[in-house]
């Protein structure tokens, strides 16, 4: 292989790499934006629910949500359950908000596995919400 061929091969490989890197960056930015938007909407739903719902309703909702995650094989959320129980004992809107912020931050901050788990958790949130308050 001539030096020119090696140089062309290297240039081609480098161009493929930089294109892949640019694609990755674009997708990453889209994921960040979608995650931020989802968290913002979740917080709005959560705030409304904690203001307009009784502690018993919130407890029932969370039990159903936890059950749906366990049924889906998401048993790795023991800490979520423990923290939720602590939030319930206080039954203060600011405690619920703090709980929500803490677990969202934990789940969305470290890697693809956490991102996938966070997405699954939010999906189960929506499914549980829909089963308790179906659209009319």
Q: Of 75, 93, 96, which Cα lies nearest the Cα of 85?
A: 96
Q: Show me where the domains of the chain are located.
A: 3-132
What was the pLDDT predicted at 30? 94
What was the pLDDT predicted at 130? 85
CA atoms within 13 A on the CB side of 45: 14
Q: Report the predicted TM-score, pTM, of the whole model to 2 decimal places.
A: 0.59
* Each residue's pLDDT tens digit, 103-114: 777 665 556 667
- pLDDT per position in the chain (136 positions), as tens? 788 887 888 889 889 989 998 998 999 899 889 988 988 998 898 888 888 888 888 888 888 888 887 777 665 566 677 777 777 777 666 777 777 777 777 665 556 667 777 788 888 888 888 888 776 5
Q: Of 112, 101, 102, which Cα lies nearest the Cα of 31?
A: 112
What was the pLDDT predicted at 16? 93
Is the CB of residue 124 less than 8 Å from the CB of residue 65? Answer: yes
User: Exposed, middle or buried: residue 111 (CB in 10 Å: 0-12, 13-18, 19+)?
Assistant: exposed
């Amino acid at each position: 292989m001539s030096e020119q061929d090696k140089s062309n091969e290297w240039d081609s490989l480098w161009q493929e790499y930089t294109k892949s890197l640019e694609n990755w960056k674009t997708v990453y930015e889209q994921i960040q934006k979608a995650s931020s938007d989802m968290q913002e909407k979740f917080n709005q739903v959560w705030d409304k629910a904690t203001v307009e719902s009784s502690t018993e309703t919130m407890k029932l909702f969370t039990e159903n949500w936890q059950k749906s995650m366990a049924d889906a094989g998401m048993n790795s959320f023991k800490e979520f359950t423990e923290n939720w129980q602590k939030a319930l004992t206080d039954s203060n809107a600011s405690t619920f908000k703090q709980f929500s912020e803490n677990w969202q931050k934990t789940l969305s901050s470290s890697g693809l596995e956490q991102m996938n788990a966070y997405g699954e958790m939010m999906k189960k949130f929506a499914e549980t919400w829909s089963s308790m308050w179906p659209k009319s």
